[in-house]
Each structure stands twice: as structure tokens, then as C-alpha cells.
Structure 1
Amino acid sequence: MEMKMRCVCLVLGLVLLMTASSDSEPHGAGHPDECCFTFSDIKIPPKRIIKVEKTSSDCPQPGYIVTTVKNKFCKHEIKELTI
């Protein structure tokens, strides 16, 4: 009985170790890294913008990710960026 219990504990420990150290991706393979699910309506001065990237066509809603020094914002359109 004691030998069976050791085997069960060993197997459960190995399964736990494999689960904790797996290299699985959080979104699954092929899922875009950044999508916009909510959009900001604030005006961002062009001089504060570091980078603008269009979201992937695989995202549920099209948009642009605007990176400033302090934050990232999701915008529907580029024309909203001007003052």
C-alpha cells in the first residue's frame, strides 16, 4: 500500500512540474499579441506620440495602438490624433 501511495505522489508531482514548466502561449498559437477591445476618445498631441501601429486583421475590431511616453491607447481612426 505504501509503494502505491509513493507512485501516485510521484506521478502527480511530475504532472504538476510539467504543467508549471510548459511553454504554452497565453493566447494560443496564431493569436495576435495586441488587439483593441476598448477605444479611447481623448485627443493626443502629435508631439507626444512615439509610435502608431495598426492592429492585426485577426483582431475582432480594427484599430490603431498609439504609444506615448507614458501609456498606450487604442484609437478607432488616425485622424483623431490631431488637436
Structure 2
Amino acid sequence: MEMKMSCVCLVLGLVLLMTVSSDATPHASGQPDMCCFNFVRFNVPKENIEKIEPTNSNCPQSGYVVTTKKNKQLCMREIILKND
């Protein structure tokens, strides 16, 4: 009985060690991090924009992720900056 308990503990310890040292990542490889599926239909004032990034070329729809100075992210199909 003591031998069985030792084997069970050894197996559980090895499983725990494999889980902790795993190279698994939360995102599947080859999948883009940022894609847009819903797009806003209004313009964001130029002075409110912190940064503009294009979506990944692997996304089903192309567009831009606009981050505002209030740290909100919006998806836009096209960017039109006006110098008012």
C-alpha cells in the first residue's frame, strides 16, 4: 500500500512540474492579436487621438484601431485627419 501511495505522489508531482514548466501560450500561434469586427461611423477629433494602429493583415476585415487619450480603443475602416 505504501508503494502505491509513493507512485501516486510521484506521478502527481511530475504532472504538476510539467504544468508549471509548460510553454503554452494563451493565443494560438498564427492568430492575430487585434482584429476589428465592429466599426464606428463617426470621426474622432485629431486632438483626442493618442495612437493609430492598422489591424493585422490576417484579420478578416482591414481597419485601424484608434486609441484615444482616455485610453478607449475604437475600430475605424479609414482614417481621415483634418487640420481644423
Give the number of aligned pairs. Answer: 81
Paired AA for residue 24 in structure 1: A
Identity across matched positions, percent: 60
What are the within-5 Å matches in structure 2 for residues 37-52 of structure 1?
A: 37-52=37-52
12-21 or 55-64: which moved more? 12-21
| 1:32 corresponding residue in structure 2 | 32
Larger radius of gyration between Structure 1 and Structure 2: 2
Unaligned runs of 5+ in 1: none
SS of residue in 2 equivalent to 1:37: coil
Unaligned runs of 5+ in 2: none
TM-score by length of 2: 0.73
| 1:65 corresponding residue in structure 2 | 65
The alpha-carbon distance between structure 1 residues 8 and 53, as it changes in their structure 2 partners (threshold 3 A), is same
TM-score by length of 1: 0.73
**CA deviation after TM superposition for structure 1 residue 34, in Å:** 1.4
